[in-house]
A and B are shown apart, each in its own frame.
Chain A
Amino acid sequence: MTYLKFVIASYAAAMVTLGGLLIQLFVDRRRYLLALRHLDNTEDKKQPKKIHTP
Chain B
Amino acid sequence: MIINDEMIKSKCNWWHESDNPERFMQISDRILPSLSIITISFLLAGLTLIWWAPEDYQQGLTVKIMFLHVPFAWLSLLCYTLMTLFSIGTLFWRHRLASIALKSTPPIGIAFTLLTLVTGALWGKPVWGTWWEWDARLTFMFILLLSYLGIFSIFQFFENAAVSVYFAAILTIVGFINIPIIQFSVKWWNTLHQPASILILGKGAPAIDSSILIPLLVMTMAFALVCFIFHLMAMRNEILRSQVIIRQRKRAQQSKKERP
| Same complex origin of A and B | yes
**Could you list which residues of chain A lie within 8 angstroms of chain B, going by C-beta atoms?**
1-4, 6-7, 9-11, 13-14, 17-18, 21-22, 24-25, 28-29, 32-33, 35-36, 39, 42-43
> What is the interface size of chain B, counting residues whose CB is below 8 A from a CB of the partner?
32
12 A-B contact pairs sorted by A residue (CB < 8 Å): A4-B61, A7-B65, A9-B122, A11-B68, A13-B119, A14-B68, A18-B111, A28-B241, A32-B240, A33-B240, A42-B251, A43-B251
CB-contacts of B84-129 with A (<8 A): 107-108, 111, 114-115, 118-119, 122-123, 125-126
A29 to B115, alpha carbons, bound, how many Å? 24
Decide yes or no: A21 and B60 within 8 Å by CB, A6-B65, A6-B122 being known contacts: no
Minimum CB–CB distance for A28 against chain B, Å? 5
Chain B residues proximal to chain A, CB less than 8 Å: 60-62, 64-65, 68-69, 72, 107-108, 111, 114-115, 118-119, 122-123, 125-126, 226, 230, 233-234, 236-237, 240-241, 243-244, 247-248, 251
Using A10-B65, A36-B244 as known contacts, say yes or no to A17 and B114 having CB atoms under 8 A apart. Answer: yes
Tell me which residues across on chain B come within 8 A of A2, comparing CB atoms: 126
A4 to B118, CA, bound (A): 16
- Residues of A contacting B72 in the complex (Cβ-Cβ under 8 angstroms): 14
A28-B226 contact given A3-B61, A10-B118, A43-B251, CB 8 Å threshold? no
Q: Tell which of A1, A2, A10, A39 has the most Cβ of chain B within 10 Å.
A: A10
Chain A residues whose CB sits within 8 angstroms of the CB of B234 once the complex forms: 25
| Residue of chain A at shortest CB distance from B72 | A14
Q: Are A14's CB and B115's CB within 8 A?
A: yes
Selected contact of A29 from candidates B111, B114, B125, B236, CB within 8 Å: B236
Which B residues are in CB contact (< 8 Å) with A32?
237, 240-241, 243-244
Q: Which residues of A contact B122 (CB under 8 A)?
A: 6, 9-10, 13
